[in-house]
Amino acid sequence: MKCVLPAVNVKLFAKAVHCLAKIGSEIYFEPLENGLALKTVNSSRSAYVCFLFHQPMFQTYEYEPTSSENGTLSEDVESDGFRCKIAVKTMLQVFKSLSTIERSVESCDINFDGENCKLVFQLKCRHGITKTHHLTYQECESLQAVFAKDLSPNILKCEHKLLTDVAANFSTGLEEISMCVTPCQVNLKSFVNEDDENAKIMRTEMTLNPEEFSDFQIGVDTEVTFCLKDLRAILAFCDVAGTTLEMHFEIGGKPLIISTEQEHYFRANFVMATVANDEDSISQQAEKSNNVNFSSNTRNRSRTTASRKHGSHAAPPRKISPKKKSSTLNNGHRSAMKMPVSKEVDLTTCEHEISPEIPDQNQMPVDDPEHSPPFKRIRSVFFEPSQNLPDHSIVVLAPDSDDDMGN
């Protein structure tokens, strides 16, 4: 692969390298048919960044695949071409000073030297000066994060200047912030654990109105907590690119996806992990406990019936009803997605405490298929007493006087 960046785009490419350096320790190069992809991931694998620079970004772009490919390649399709990774500290030596690059660099040539395992950068500067950097690389596999931002129920789109002004109000030492969204507003506040030593430090909270966003779609009221440092790295790049931001997210514990692009030139996706809230974790655990296949359900019913015949203390019979996304039960009090679990319950044992009659699936005996109950398709089940037993209370009268005792 060989490509040439013109002077007007060298600074943008260098700023992307600086953004990647703030996230991970290695930069992955993946030449594609439709452009050059630069990716990275942090050490804890909680943040992933991908820049895809399209061919119009380059003055010259020559792509030579190492093997045959099927169809048009994109950043979401793994290719069989050449891939490598370079240490961030090595890359920063090439694009160390952004002001110097903007002032003196006229073009940047990027060549892959496969024979010597070198990635060659040539910075052609004013007055005929050429700076050449030979960087040793390592061949690697494709780095890819799996996400579907188009399926996210919540979408926020705004100018980068809005979030830059918001981030400037938070302390530089703050690690995480929480974003609470409703159809009426967006609330951003400092996130500090109560058990942390810095729990009593100053906290900041800001509220944004829907009118401040160019696109405001809230399908689920939720609160997500994410890393403020990663957000600042994204905003620093957008400040140079002058682009808008799109945020796609769902609930706490699921990734927050921030994307930005300049048509025909580049596209960038930032995927950040979020902190799972207690209510969201219990809801997800309850949903998992509700998803019982038909074979497990029929075996559990037969074992429960057998235990009642032997006089064991089993829970009262419970009713089975299919799960719907936003439906409630016949009594109208509780939804099938929300289980009555106390917040003190350990999430690792939550499933067993919700339905104690159901043993582990791995411990279930294998029944004879000829005597098994008929096939039933069950998507989910919700357990509740199937009937209210009448109250047969016995009245006991105590004597009121000694005369009554004599009688």
Q: What is the rounded average pLDDT of the residues 246-251? A: 95
- What is the gyration radius of the CA atoms in the chain, in angstroms? 30
Q: Which one-letter DSSP state was computed for residue 328?
A: B
Q: Which one-letter DSSP state was computed for residue 365?
A: -
Q: CATH 3.70.10.10 in the chain, residues?
A: 2-139, 149-276
> Which of 1-10, 339-348, 365-374 is the most confident on average?
1-10
* Nearest-5° Cα angle at 403, 399 to 407: 85
Q: Give the start-end residues of each E strand in 250-377.
A: 256-262, 266-272
Beta strand 118-125 pairing with 256-262: unpaired
Confidence grade of residue 335 (pLDDT, cut at 50, 70, 90)? very low
Note the pLDDT of residue 200.
65
Note the pLDDT of residue 23.
95
Helices 228-241 and 7-21, interaxial angle, to 10°? 180
Q: Is the pLDDT of residue 375 over 50?
A: no
Confidence grade of residue 54 (pLDDT, cut at 50, 70, 90)? very high
| Neighbouring residues of 71: CB distance < 8 A, sequence distance ≥ 6 | 77
Q: What is the rounded average pLDDT of the residues 63-71? A: 57
| Neighbouring residues of 406: CB distance < 8 A, sequence distance ≥ 6 | none
Rounded CA gap, 16 and 91, in Å?
11
Q: Is the pLDDT of residue 341 over 90?
A: no
Q: Is the pLDDT of residue 361 over 70?
A: no
Q: Is the pLDDT of residue 374 over 50?
A: no
Note the pLDDT of residue 87.
95
Q: Is the pLDDT of residue 407 over 90?
A: no
Q: Rounded to 5 degrees, what are φ and ψ at 262?
A: -125, 115
Question: Residue 13 belongs to what H/E stretch?
Answer: helix 7-21
| Neighbouring residues of 401: CB distance < 8 A, sequence distance ≥ 6 | none
Question: pLDDT of 282-296, one tens digit each?
Answer: 444 444 433 333 333
Rounded to an integer, what is the distance from CA 98 to the centroid of its chain?
32
The CATH class for the domain spanning 2-139 reads: alpha beta
Question: pLDDT of 120-161, one tens digit each?
Answer: 999 999 989 999 999 999 888 888 888 888 889 999 999 999
pTM of the model: 0.65
Rounded CA gap, 166 and 186, in Å?
12
Note the pLDDT of residue 221.
94
Note the pLDDT of residue 196.
63
Question: pLDDT of 303-324, one tens digit each?
Answer: 333 334 444 444 444 443 344 3
Note the pLDDT of residue 198.
60
Question: pLDDT of 196-243, one tens digit each?
Answer: 666 567 788 999 999 999 999 999 999 999 999 999 999 999 999 999
Name which residue leads in pLDDT, 257 or 382.
Answer: 257
The burial class, CB within 10 Å (0-12 / 13-18 / 19+), for 139 is exposed
Note the pLDDT of residue 19.
96
Name which residue leads in pLDDT, 355 or 172.
Answer: 172
DSSP string covering 147-193, please?
A: --GGG-SEEEEEEHHHHHHHHHTS-TT--EEEEEE-SS-EEEEE---
Q: What is the rounded average pLDDT of the residues 322-349? A: 38
CB 213 within 8 A of CB 157: yes
Q: Rounded to 5 degrees, what are φ and ψ at 145?
A: -100, 135
Rounded to an integer, what is the distance from CA 174 to the centroid of its chain?
21
Beta strand 266-272 pairing with 47-54: antiparallel
Token pair 């994410």: residue: 226
Note the pLDDT of residue 64.
77
Q: What is the rounded average pLDDT of the residues 41-59? A: 94
Q: Is the pLDDT of residue 362 over 60?
A: no
Token pair, residue 214, equals 């160019």
Q: What percent of the chain has pLDDT over 70?
A: 62
Note the pLDDT of residue 267.
95
Averaged confidence pLDDT in the chain: 74
Number of H helices, E strands in the chain: 9, 19
Confidence grade of residue 366 (pLDDT, cut at 50, 70, 90)? very low
| Neighbouring residues of 179: CB distance < 8 A, sequence distance ≥ 6 | 186, 187, 188, 223, 224, 225, 226
At the topology level, CATH places domain 149-276 in Proliferating Cell Nuclear Antigen (3.70.10)
CB 269 within 8 A of CB 50: yes
Q: Which of 190, 274, 258 is nearest to 224 (CA)?
A: 274
Q: Is the pLDDT of residue 3 over 80?
A: yes
CB 147 within 8 A of CB 257: yes
CB 59 within 8 A of CB 106: no
Classified as helix, coil or strand, 76 is coil
Q: Is the pLDDT of residue 297 over 90?
A: no
Alpha helices by DSSP H, listed for 43-97, are 88-94
